[in-house]
Chain A
Amino acid sequence: MNEVRRLLPGKQTSSSPISKERLVERGFDRALDYALALEPEEIISTVTKSGIKGRGGAAFPTGVKWSSVSKAEGSVKYVVMNADESELGTFKDRVLLEEDPLGALVGLVIGAHAVGAKKAYCYIRGEYREVEQTLARAIETLRHGGWVGPHGVEIEIRRGAGAYIAGEETALFNSIEGKRPEPRVKPPFPTTKGLWASPTLIQNVETLANVAILFAHDLHWFTAYGTQDTVGTKLVGLSGHIRRPGVYEVPFGTPMQEILDAPELGGTVSGSGRLGAVLLGGAAGTFLTPQEVKNTVLDYPSLGAIGASIGSGAIMVFDDTVNLEWVVTKLARFFAEESCGQCVPCRIGTKRILEMMETGELWTRTSDLRALGQAMKDASICGLGQTAPVALLSILERPELRHHA
């Protein structure tokens, strides 16, 4: 199957990404006029029927979230675009915002109308300075069109300052509120108590872009791609030992091997030319063996069957010369540094794991690592601590990935 371009603008798209003309060329003006004339329940019903799942990692059904925020008690509500994107190997939101910033913003405006929010935030990582400027200009374009402002929704950009944990939704709220970006205990969930304890809809950039293209077309068009389980297309970020690193849009259900090999996608493994492993989903992702890559497709059930998930859409490719123990040691250092320190299993657990990796004990203390991993999964407050051991444990499940150099 060829590369699909729906979330990403087609190659023939000629208008400037931040212009009024782009809104028209992509059908986003039509999407706004159509959606904003609908009753909120009608919007939410369409989003629910579309089957869109969150693209920030957890794949939570988007329509369900919109419905919860819409029904939640409270006169003040917020919507938030999560563009913190600080996960290893993940750059799809950056590319999406560079190439088509209006899409995600249109999704944000539609979301605000659906849940009854007057104020929206775009939280973008501090290192994306140039993207932030593009985003600001795109917001101005929507302001001129009357969609953003006192009569629509106010959108404010918030710039992060280098904290991976700030991408976790409740930590992100604390960051916007001017507090330390430490995650909150859930429940309460953001849908009832988010920003300033008000019901808050928070979505990933790519999720919002899906909403925009859905309303620029219709359900029939939107559901033309994908699998029974998951409708639509997914942005994947290919990096590492691959000839054509970059972001590609593929339908759910595309074979993993094809993503690596197709001439218009990855264009085959580089480096030694022989695949050693793929790390799928980010720093807390799962290592896949070449055999697993051959046998799976990009979809939740197929990957779930081998203990993996799509995560952020990061596909990190390693040739057969890379010592994966070096990789997991770097991941361990990252988590130890980025743990906010609020809860013990994560604060101590990430340090212990790092120590064991630095002393080369990955293959000698497997039962200790498994027990520690379980404790962190069970007892950490947030996803960072819960998933920090995932990549490492996935190697232990795959002894063929052990390096014998």
Chain B
Amino acid sequence: MDVQKSAMETTVAARLNDLVRERGQLLPALWRVMEEYRQLSPELLEAVSLFMDIPYAEVYGVASFYALFENASGNTPMYVCTDVMCALQGAESLKEAAKANLGTKVTVHESACLGQCDYAPAVWSGSHVLRRATADDVTAAVEAITHE
């Protein structure tokens, strides 16, 4: 266990190596770890805390505030906007399509307005946006991630 933990600390430290170790770099540091691991587990937060020299409770307090850092499964997140303007355009069926096609690699999150209401309903895969998405688009995106 200890050996494994130190391995994680080493990889996290390598990932953060060029960041200045100051409080103002905490959010960028969390993003880097999030992009690599798709989650911020207690072990990963501990590694960030050690590298940045910021108390664990502080790191946890910051990380837990942000919705995009909530992804305990470590799967690829898929954000289906179910806010008002997308709901008017059938977001509910997209959510169902996404959930019906769950591979082991995708976790579906409901999202508040994604800022894409001109292309409602919208889905965000963490890297790009599906605009005027159909159930088929969502199914295809889930499958693409599953077969990556």
Contacts and interface: CB of A to CB of B under 8 A. Distances in A.
Partners in one complex: yes
A178 interface: yes
A247 B113 CA distance: 16
Interface stretch (B3-11, B20-28, B139-147): B20-28
Count chain A CB atoms within 10 A of each CB in B24, B79, B119, B129 and give the residue with the most: B24
Interface residues of B, number: 39
Interface string A76-96: 000000000111111100110
Interface string A222-259: 00000000000000011111000111000000000000
A161 B118 contact: no
Given A89-B85, A127-B124, A237 B27 contact: no
Interface string A125-148: 111111000000000000000000
Contacts of B111: 127
A91 B117 contact: yes
Contact of B117 (A86, A158, A175, A237): A237
Contacts of B119: 245
Contacts of A239: 85, 117-118, 120
B84 A88 contact: yes
A161 B23 CA distance: 16
Interface in B13-65: 22-28, 30-31, 34, 54, 61-62, 65
A91 B115 contact: yes
B48 to A, nearest CB: 11
Contacts of A238: 118
B27 A164 contact: no
A127 B114 contact: yes
A313 to B, nearest CB: 12
Contacts of B31: 126, 159, 161
Nearest to A90: B115
B128 A163 contact: no
B96 interface: no
A174 to B, nearest CB: 9
Contacts of B130: none
B102 interface: no
Interface in A295-327: 316, 318, 322, 327
Given A86-B112, A88-B85, A130-B129, A163 B120 contact: no
A383 to B, nearest CB: 17
Interface in A35-67: none
12 contacts: A86-B115, A88-B83, A89-B85, A89-B113, A91-B115, A91-B116, A130-B129, A161-B66, A176-B27, A196-B24, A239-B118, A245-B117
Interface of B: 22-28, 30-31, 34, 54, 61-62, 65-69, 79, 83-85, 87-88, 111-120, 124, 126-129
